[in-house]
Amino acid sequence: MTSSVKKIDPRTSRSQHLLEEQVANEFGTAQQYLAIAVWFDQRDLPRLATHFYRRSSKKRDDALRIVQYMMDSSTEVEIPAIRAVRNDFTEPRELVALAVAQERSVTAEVAALTQTVREDGDYLGEQFMRWFLAEQVDAVSRLSTLLDVLDRADGNLFDVEDFLKREDIGSSANDALAPRVAGGSS
């Protein structure tokens, strides 16, 4: 009996390698957002904590979207190790600035992956990556807005908490078009 799962084809190994790296990047970002959420939660800032708990869950789902795509493509999937997260922060701006930097980094990684699948002639992979490109534009914009609000609050975190209560900056209109998540959404 032969397995329906195939090893990575040398012709598409660049794309497959980058997909696996992106799984690690998404899981790593999810863990970092979890650390950020806990930091805010321990300081009795429930809106900021909830925002980053949601971001963590969303990034985990994004990793599992890639896993599902790989499985749907009959490609063997190996879940890679992730990098260590940062837990030592001194002030709230550091956390949000780190999140903005992480999203910009993920955006560059998604763009590079999209370019690679295009160069490899993987039209299905390119179509799959379009959702991630739109998602990254939205994520950078929303977190940049949160950082701007934090800066304008001039240390008054209750103003930031009120902003998060008023504004729904944690959900995306792009979610309805999202690819499936391996194992279902969290």
Assigned domain for 184 exists = no
Q: Answer yes or no: are the C-beta atoms of 49 and 40 closer than 8 Å.
A: yes
Assigned domain for 181 exists = no
Q: Is 26 annotated as a binding residue?
A: yes
- Report how many domains make up the chain: 1
Assigned domain for 108 exists = yes
Domain that holds residue 72: 14-171
Q: Give the list of residues 6+ apart from residue 157 with CB closer than 8 angstroms, or none.
A: 45, 48, 92
75 φψ region: left (φ > 0), alpha (ψ -120 to 50), beta (else)? beta
Assigned domain for 112 exists = yes
Q: Is 103 annotated as a binding residue?
A: yes
What is the value of pTM for the model shown? 0.86
Confidence at residue 107, expressed as pLDDT on a 0 to 100 scale: 95
Q: Answer yes or no: are the C-beta atoms of 124 and 138 closer than 8 Å.
A: no
Confidence at residue 8, expressed as pLDDT on a 0 to 100 scale: 47
Residue-wise pLDDT tens for the chain (186 aa)?
Answer: 444 554 545 445 788 888 999 999 999 999 999 999 999 999 999 999 999 999 999 999 999 999 999 999 888 888 999 999 999 999 999 999 999 999 999 999 999 999 999 998 888 889 999 999 999 999 999 999 999 999 999 999 999 999 999 986 655 555 667 777 777 766
d(C-alpha 67, C-alpha 27), whole Å: 11
Confidence at residue 183, expressed as pLDDT on a 0 to 100 scale: 75
Q: Please count the CA atoms within 13 angstroms of the CA of 123 that sit on its side-chain side.
A: 0
Assigned domain for 117 exists = yes
Assigned domain for 95 exists = yes
CATH number of the domain enclosing 86: 1.20.1260.10
Q: Answer yes or no: are the C-beta atoms of 8 and 75 closer than 8 Å.
A: yes
d(C-alpha 62, C-alpha 60), whole Å: 5
Assigned domain for 183 exists = no
Q: Is 115 annotated as a binding residue?
A: no
Q: Which two tokens stand for residue 129?
A: 């990556």
Confidence at residue 59, expressed as pLDDT on a 0 to 100 scale: 96
Assigned domain for 4 exists = no
